[in-house]
């Protein structure tokens, strides 16, 4: 009796061990297959599309949340589509269809990567002054590396014609930019033709105006030269004023550009240009002064010299490294889908 029990126990133990040893890879394989099939579910696809739609609506309504509500659904949709490719044998039998769906996966991941690393901002650069990397109205992805320190360009002036009614025509802005080899290049850019340096695109905008340029000498003898950008012209034609403080001083200085001529005549074809007849009204505390180019003004903290007027141009700065790759992925998707339908619907000879 004891011997039979022992034999049965050994047999059961051997059987259990055999089941355990033989089922591990299979179970793991089947568990992996079930997971892939669940990830490839069409119901999950529908739910993720709804989630993406909600993310788009949320990003539209919340200006400060335009990354993660879009990135998360896009990555999940890429995983869902990749699982469908892995679990459906029809993709392995039809190469063109397989390439098309893989291109869609790449597109989803590229759009997600673009949202994580993009940058959108504005900057105003005075004529003859190098771009210093300071931006305004910055909107960027959380993983944007920030390589603006490698961007070097100078605004060398611009030309804008206006049709009657102050209809702005094309902007032609001449810039000089430094390439990776250290050489300087000249280029003319505009609203549709950007300056592209280190992946950053600088487009001209309708914002431009006048910038009084000063030379400031403080009481210690330090000399600094700079300009103050006045509000955009002609959008704020009657508000050409700004308040600022010289470098190293807390002295508030208010300046107003008083123009004694018509810069842009709404009834004529005209061009944007610097005024020839003007004066600069300067207020420091209760004191009022009028300055012309070359005039100097003594203040408690130093000497302010007005050198003259310059233009400034407003640029929209945009960065998204995924754009050329998106174009390539779209091209592959279109070509592969066309090849698939060409193969599928091409008429075959009746005697083939």
More confident residue, 112 or 58: 112
The per-residue pLDDT for 92 is 77
pLDDT in tens, 183-194: 999 999 999 999
Tens digits of residue pLDDT in 32-70? 788 888 898 889 999 999 999 999 898 888 877 778 899
Coil vs helix vs strand at 136: strand
Beta strands in 127-199 (DSSP E): 136-140, 153-163, 167-178, 184-189, 195-197
Residue of 3 and 271 predicted with greater confidence: 271
β-sheet bridge partners, residue 269: none
Alpha-carbon span 176 to 184, nearest angstrom: 6
Any residues with CB less than 8 A from the CB of 113 and at least 6 apart, and which? 322
Alpha helices per DSSP H over the chain: 2-39, 42-61, 68-87, 89-93, 95-117, 323-345
Confidence band, pLDDT 50/70/90 cuts, at residue 15:
very low
User: Is-contact 129 227, C-beta < 8 A?
Assistant: yes
User: What percent of the chain has a predicted confidence (pLDDT) above 90?
Assistant: 70
Taking only the tens place, the pLDDT of each residue in 242-272 is 999 998 889 999 999 999 999 999 999 999 9
Q: Which of 55, 54, 49 is nearest to 67 (CA)?
A: 55
pLDDT of residue 135: 92
| Cα torsion angle, 184, 188, 189, 193, sign | negative
Average pLDDT, integer, range 211-230: 94
Query: Cα separation of 136 and 33, whole Å?
Result: 51
pLDDT reported for residue 229: 95
Between 12 and 245, name the one with better pLDDT. 245
- Name 216's bridge partners: 224, 304
The radius of gyration computed from the CA coordinates of the chain, to the nearest angstrom, equals 33
For residue 332, list its beta bridge partners: none
Query: How do residues 146-162 score in pLDDT, each as one tens digit?
Result: 788 889 999 999 999 99
Give the per-residue pLDDT at 26.
59
What DSSP element (H or E) covers 205? Answer: strand 200-218
The per-residue pLDDT of the chain, averaged, comes to: 88
Per-residue confidence (pLDDT) for residue 261, from 0 to 100: 92
Q: What is the per-residue pLDDT across 116-136, written as a single tens digit (0 to 9) for each? A: 999 999 999 999 999 988 899
pLDDT of residue 28: 60
Q: Do 108 and 81 contact (CB within 8 A), yes or no?
A: yes
Q: How many degrees, rounded to 5, is the angle at CA 106 between CA 105 and CA 107?
A: 90
Rounded to whole angstroms, the Cα distance separating 46 from 52 reads 10
Quickly state the pLDDT bin for 27 (edges 50, 70, 90): low
Q: Which of 85-94, 120-129, 339-348 has the lowest mean pLDDT?
A: 339-348
Mean pLDDT of the region 106-119: 95
Sorting pLDDT into bands at 50, 70 and 90, what band is 31?
confident
What is the rounded average pLDDT of the residues 111-115?
94
User: What local confidence, expressed as pLDDT, does residue 351 receive?
Assistant: 56
Instruction: For residue 352, name the pLDDT band (cuts at 50, 70, 90).
Output: low
> Is residue 6 predicted with pLDDT exceeding 80?
no
The 8 Å CB, 24+ separation contacts for 30-35 are 33/87
Burial class (CB in 10 A: 0-12, 13-18, 19+), 223: exposed
Task: Give CA–CA dist 45/218, Å, rounded.
Answer: 67
SS3 174: strand
Separation of alpha carbons 217 and 79, rounded Å: 63
What percent of the chain shows pLDDT beyond 70? Answer: 90
Q: What b/e sequence results for 328-337 when a residue is b if at least 16 CB atoms lie within 10 Å of its CB, and e otherwise?
A: ebeebbeebb
pLDDT for 90 equals: 83
Q: What is the largest CA-CA distance in the chain?
A: 122
Q: What whole-number distance in Å separates Cα of residue 260 and Cα of residue 276?
A: 8
Lowest mean pLDDT among 133-137, 210-214, 293-297, 323-327: 133-137
| All residues at 6 or more sequence positions from 180 whose CB lies less than 8 Å from its CB, including other chains | none
pLDDT at 228 over 70: yes
Question: Is residue 63 packed enough to be buried (19+ CB in 10 Å), middle (13-18) or exposed (0-12)?
Answer: exposed
Give the model's confidence band at 348: pLDDT under 50 very low, under 70 low, under 90 confident, else very high. Answer: low
């Amino acid at each position: 009796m004891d011997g039979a029990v022992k034999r049965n126990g050994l047999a059961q133990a051997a059987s259990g061990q055999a089941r355990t040893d033989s089922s591990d890879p299979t179970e793991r394989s089947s568990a992996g297959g079930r997971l892939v099939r669940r990830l490839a579910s069409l119901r999950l696809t529908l739910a993720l599309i709804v989630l993406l739609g909600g993310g788009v609506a949320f990003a539209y309504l919340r200006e400060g949340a335009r990354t993660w509500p879009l990135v998360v659904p896009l990555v999940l949709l890429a995983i869902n589509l990749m699982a469908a490719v892995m679990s459906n044998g029809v993709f392995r039998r039809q190469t063109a269809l397989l390439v098309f769906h893989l291109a869609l996966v790449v597109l989803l991941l590229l759009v997600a990567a673009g949202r994580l690393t993009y940058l959108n901002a504005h900057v105003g650069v005075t004529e003859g002054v190098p771009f210093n990397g300071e931006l305004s109205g910055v909107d960027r992805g959380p993983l944007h590396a920030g390589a603006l320190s490698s961007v070097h360009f100078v605004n060398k002036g611009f030309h804008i014609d206006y049709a009657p009614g102050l209809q702005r025509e094309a902007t032609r802005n001449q810039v000089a930019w430094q390439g990776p080899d250290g050489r300087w290049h000249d280029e003319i850019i505009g609203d549709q033709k950007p300056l592209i340096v280190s992946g950053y695109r600088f487009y001209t905008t309708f914002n431009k105006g006048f910038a009084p340029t000063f030379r400031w000498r403080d009481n210690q003898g330090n000399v600094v030269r700079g300009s103050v950008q006045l509000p955009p012209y002609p959008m704020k034609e009657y508000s050409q004023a700004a308040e600022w403080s010289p470098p190293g001083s807390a002295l508030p200085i208010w300046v107003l550009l008083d123009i004694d001529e018509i810069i842009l005549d709404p009834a004529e074809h005209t061009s944007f240009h610097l005024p020839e007849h003007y004066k600069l009204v300067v207020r420091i505390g209760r004191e009022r002064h009028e300055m012309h180019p070359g005039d100097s003004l003594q203040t408690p903290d130093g000497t302010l010299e007005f050198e003259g007027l310059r233009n400034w141009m407003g640029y929209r700065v945009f960065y998204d490294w995924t754009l050329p790759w998106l174009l390539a992925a779209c091209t592959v998707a279109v070509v592969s889908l066309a090849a698939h339908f060409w193969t599928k619907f091409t008429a075959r000879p009746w005697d083939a």
